[in-house]
Homo-oligomer: A and B are copies of this chain.
């Protein structure tokens, strides 16, 4: 593929896709900014996992995915909080883990109410957990990544051209309480492959599958540029 064909394809794909949402559940993730950037895994309820998910969701070789929105559901405090990152206006995101953690730290300083409050550009925070997020995403096609879900190829041919939401758990997976909320929201449980992967690696794969029209036949030998 030439550079021009590639450029055309990317703009062509973008113009035909809705918003790509990723919802990641941080089962023990802190809701306060008191964690240490010198030991993120040990002091933040594994916010490091969520940082890597943010990078996987947004970062391209030369830019940010503008059609992506990430919801980090932080369940490690007394009251759940959610941090939202909007690709359209997101700034200051670097690919390294520590910078992302510093951005989240700033967001957790902002006083949270049930309404979204702006932290740095493109980053918002509010109180509330998964049910609120899925209510916001009503209308999006929802897929939940679960080891015991149906093979992801089984959704081949599905129309994913509108808004889509992918729901993932952290190292502790998805607890029964959140599982029920997800099921009630109508999400379909899918499994991404035979080996159990970290959430951020699943996000990399999903982005690639969406980029390459995998569900519409990338893997079947059809060239994306001939669509």
| Chain A 64-106 near chain B by CB (<8 Å), digits 1 or 0 | 0000000000000000000000000000001111110000000
In chain A, positions 175-224 with a C-beta closer than 8 Å to chain B are 191-198, 201, 204-205, 208, 211-212, 214, 218-221, 223-224
Q: Which listed residue (B94, B148, B212) contacts A193, Cβ 8 A?
A: B212
> Which stretch of A21-29, A48-56, A120-128, A134-142 is in the interface?
A48-56
**Chain A to chain B: the 4 pairs with minimum beta-carbon distance, closest first:** A219-B219, A61-B196, A97-B97, A204-B204
Q: Are A196 and B153 also in contact (CB < 8 A) when A96-B97, A219-B218, A220-B220 are? A: no
**Could you show 30 A-B contacts with beta carbons less than 8 Å apart?**
A1-B191, A1-B194, A3-B148, A6-B194, A9-B194, A13-B194, A37-B38, A38-B38, A40-B98, A41-B94, A41-B96, A41-B99, A48-B97, A49-B95, A60-B196, A61-B195, A96-B97, A97-B97, A97-B98, A153-B221, A192-B208, A193-B208, A193-B211, A193-B212, A194-B225, A201-B204, A201-B208, A205-B205, A214-B219, A220-B220
Contacting pair B204 A95 (CB below 8 A): no
Contacting pair B96 A201 (CB below 8 A): no
In chain A, positions 138-182 with a C-beta closer than 8 Å to chain B are 147-148, 151, 153, 156, 171
Contacting pair B97 A59 (CB below 8 A): no
Q: Which listed residue (B10, B195, B218) contacts A10, Cβ 8 A?
A: B195
* A62 interfacial contact with B, CB 8 Å: yes
Q: Which listed residue (B1, B49, B95, B195) contacts A151, Cβ 8 A?
A: B1
Q: Among A59, A99, A205, which residue has the most Cβ atoms of chain B within 10 A?
A: A205
Given contacts A151-B223, A195-B211, 16 further A-B contacts (CB under 8 A): A3-B148, A6-B194, A13-B194, A41-B94, A48-B95, A49-B95, A59-B198, A59-B201, A60-B197, A61-B197, A194-B211, A194-B225, A197-B204, A201-B208, A204-B205, A218-B219
* Chain B residues near A48 (CB-CB < 8 A): 95-97
State how many angstroms separate the Cβ of A206 from the closest Cβ of chain B. Answer: 11
Q: How far is the CA of A192 from the CA of B41 in the complex (A)?
A: 31
* Chain B residues near A148 (CB-CB < 8 A): 3
